[in-house]
Chains A and B, each alone.
Chain A
Amino acid sequence: QTVVTQEPSFSVSPGGTVTLTCGLTSGSVSTTFYPSWYQQTPGQAPRTLIYSTNTRSSGVPDRFSGSILGNKAALTITGAQADDESDYYCLLYMSSGIWVFGGGTKLTVL
């Protein structure tokens, strides 16, 4: 069974740039996996940041961007701010209508 992988944790300095990745235990992520990214703070519903690999959801600042880097989907945050400290999840379309989340990355801004 293919598992969606994410870094468990990451740290970035305020104003810095960080790239979170979303991969597969078997195979490469491409645009046909329709990668999407979600930000979640404790006690809140997730917020959609990116869908269809690189399309920003309405109201999402342009310092959040999505891409395919090598064999993984990637979320890059440019000019990190304190309130970017959150959990970030990726979601991939596998096939036959089935979607799978990654385990999430806890981002610390310090």
Chain B
Amino acid sequence: QLQLQESGPGLVKPSETLSLTCTVSGGSISSYSYYWGWIRQPPGKGLEWIGSISYSGSTYYNPSLKSRVTISVDTSKNQFSLQLSSVTAADTAVYFCTVRGGCSGGNCSRARLWGQGTLVTVSS
């Protein structure tokens, strides 16, 4: 049973880079044809898809964040990571790591699994 756990600083200064890691347990990140990604939720607001990385290393990013986002995988540590540069107060949010199955022909191979989330506050 796959499980996801986010980790990283809870406070980041404006203009700096937010860096979070998601540790995968219950299976090897390299053994699944899955898509590993990040979603965030500002306090009191809705969910926003940030981006994902496929099992083959292809990356997909929210167009509104694309210039500042990097998602990568470290198979040796069974982790994947999010980096968001030049942060502002608007980037204050709970960040969730997720995994989903591949999708084709109207069907996805598995439901999206969520980590518990981690709050990141951008403030000086």
Contact = CB atoms under 8 A, between A and B. Distances in A.
Interface of A: 31-32, 34, 36, 38, 40, 45-48, 51-53, 55, 57-58, 89, 91, 93, 96-104
8 contacts: A36-B108, A36-B112, A48-B113, A51-B111, A98-B62, A98-B63, A100-B49, A101-B47
Nearest to B106: A31
B111 A57 contact: yes
Given A99-B49, A101-B46, A34 B112 contact: no
Interface string B103-117: 100111011111111
Given A36-B111, A45-B115, A48-B114, 6 more contacts: A34-B103, A52-B106, A55-B107, A91-B47, A91-B112, A101-B46
A97 B59 CA distance: 8
B96 A52 contact: no
Interface in B77-120: 96, 100, 103, 106-108, 110-117
